[in-house]
Amino acid sequence: MRTRLFACIVNIGLALHGLPVHALDAAAGEPALASRVAPPEQEVVDRFVAAGMRDARPHALTPTERLRVGKALESLPALHRLVLEKRLRRLGFVDGIPGHGSGLFSPVAGTGQFDITLRASLLGESLGDFLTTKERRLFAPDESGLVLTVDGTGTDALTYVLLHETSHAVDRALGLTADRRSPFVDGVWADRATLVPSLASSPAAGTAFRGGEPVPMGKASDVYDALAHTPFVSLYATAAAPEDFAELVAWHVISTVHGGSLAITLRNGQGVAVSRYEPLAAPAARARIAHVEALLRRADTEKGRDALQRLLDPTGGS
C-alpha cells in the first residue's frame, strides 16, 4: 500500500512538471495508459503554432476531464491498447485550436514511440457537432439553399478521435498500409496517397480532403451518391491510405462496440430532409469489415498477444 501511494504521489509530481510517468506503472498498479496523459512537449505545441495556430498552448486537464480521457482509453480495442502500452510516450491536449481540427500524431524520432496531441475542446464536444463542422468545409453555399448535417451516434467526439488516432498507431506499428499487398490497400490504393484509377475518377475523390476546391452545395448529393459506390466509410477516408484505414477501423468499432451509426442528411431551406446517406451500409465498405475483424482478433488470444508483444518490442519487429 505504501509503495502504491508513493508511486502515485511521484506520478502526480511528474505529470505536473509535464513529464511522462509510465515508468512507474507496474509498481503503482495504475492503468498504464491513463498514466501517459501529460501536457505536450513544447516542440509539439510549436508545430501547431508553425501551422498558423498561434494561440496553441498546453491544456491542463481537470479531474473530471482526466476521468473522461481514462474512460475513453479503456474503451479502445485490446489491439489498440497493446500498441499504446508499448509505443505511446504521451497523450496531451492543447487549447487554441480551431474547431475543425482534431489533433496531431507525432512519431518520436529514433524510438519507435509516438505522441498524440488533441484539441482540448474535443473533451466536451458531441460526435455529431464535430463531424458536421468538419464535413461542411467541403461544400460551398449556393442557390440550392441546402444545408448538410452529420449525425454520429454511439459515442462522443473524444472517443471517435482517439479511435482514429490510435488506429494510426496500430497501422504504423504493424506496417499495414505500408504493405501494398495488405487487404487494406490492395485494389484501393496505388500508393500511400494515390487511388487506383477506378476510384480516382469518382466525384467522392474530388473534395478538399484530396486537395480539391469546395464543391457547390447543390452537387453534394452527387458526391454522396458516388461515395456509396466506393469502399470508403467516409469522405475523409479518401484522403490517403492511412486515413482510410483509421476511418474503417474507428467506424467499425463505433458501430459494433458502441452501437453507433453515421448518417449525412441534406435539408432544404425549410429544414425538410431531401436526401440521407449512410456510408457504413454501402456494400463495398461492408465487404472490408472482415479484414478489420481479423486484425482486431489478433489480440484476443494469449498466443496472439505474445506474438504482438514480440513484434512491438523495441529490440525486434517494427
Nearest to 160 by CA among 280, 87, 251: 251
Q: Indicate whether 92 and 145 sit together in one domain.
A: yes
Q: Indicate whether 141 and 1 sit together in one domain.
A: no
Q: Indicate whether 47 and 10 sit together in one domain.
A: no
CA distance 201 to 77: 35
What percentage of the chain has pLDDT greater than the value 70?
Answer: 88
How open is the CA angle 260-264-266, to the nearest 5 degrees? Answer: 150
Cβ-in-10-Å burial (0-12, 13-18, 19+) of 35 comes to buried
Strand order in the sheet with 57-58: 57-58, 88-95, 113-119, 103-108
Nearest to 112 by CA among 95, 87, 93, 142: 87
Q: What is the pLDDT of residue 31?
A: 62
Residue at 317 is within a domain:
no
- What tens digit of pLDDT does each residue of 81-140 get? 999 999 999 999 999 887 666 778 888 888 889 999 999 999 999 999 999 999 999 999
Q: What is the pLDDT of residue 5?
A: 41
Higher pLDDT: 159 or 25? It is 159
Cβ–Cβ under 8 Å, residues 81 and 55: no
Structural domain boundaries, residue 270 = 31-312
Q: Indicate whether 25 and 121 sit together in one domain.
A: no
Q: What is the pLDDT of residue 237?
A: 98
Q: What's the full length of the chain, in residues?
A: 318
Q: Indicate whether 18 and 92 sit together in one domain.
A: no
Q: Indicate whether 58 and 9 sit together in one domain.
A: no
- What tens digit of pLDDT does each residue of 125-179 get? 999 999 999 999 999 999 999 999 999 999 999 999 999 999 999 999 999 999 9
Residue at 318 is within a domain:
no
Question: What residue spans of the chain are helical by DSSP H?
Answer: 2-16, 25-28, 42-50, 63-74, 78-87, 127-136, 157-174, 197-200, 220-227, 241-256, 283-286, 289-297, 302-312
Q: What is the pLDDT of residue 98?
A: 76
Residue at 130 is within a domain:
yes
Q: Indicate whether 125 and 15 sit together in one domain.
A: no
Cβ-in-10-Å burial (0-12, 13-18, 19+) of 19 comes to middle
Nearest to 161 by CA among 60, 64, 93, 83: 93
Residue at 123 is within a domain:
yes
Q: Which residues pair with 57 in a beta bridge?
A: 95
Average pLDDT of the chain to the nearest whole number: 89
Q: Indicate whether 214 and 225 sit together in one domain.
A: yes
- What tens digit of pLDDT does each residue of 219-272 get? 999 999 999 999 999 999 999 999 999 999 999 999 999 999 999 999 999 999
- CA of 268: how far to CAs of 265, 273, 274, in Å? 10, 7, 7
Question: What pTM, to 2 d.p., does this model score?
Answer: 0.87
Q: Indicate whether 60 and 112 sit together in one domain.
A: yes
The torsion region of residue 111 among left (phi > 0), alpha (psi -120 to 50) and beta comes to alpha
Q: What is the pLDDT of residue 315?
A: 56
CA distance 13 to 80: 28
Residue at 122 is within a domain:
yes
Cell 482517439 -> residue: 162
Q: Indicate whether 56 and 9 sit together in one domain.
A: no
Residue at 272 is within a domain:
yes
Specify the number of domains making up the chain.
2
Q: Indicate whether 53 and 13 sit together in one domain.
A: no
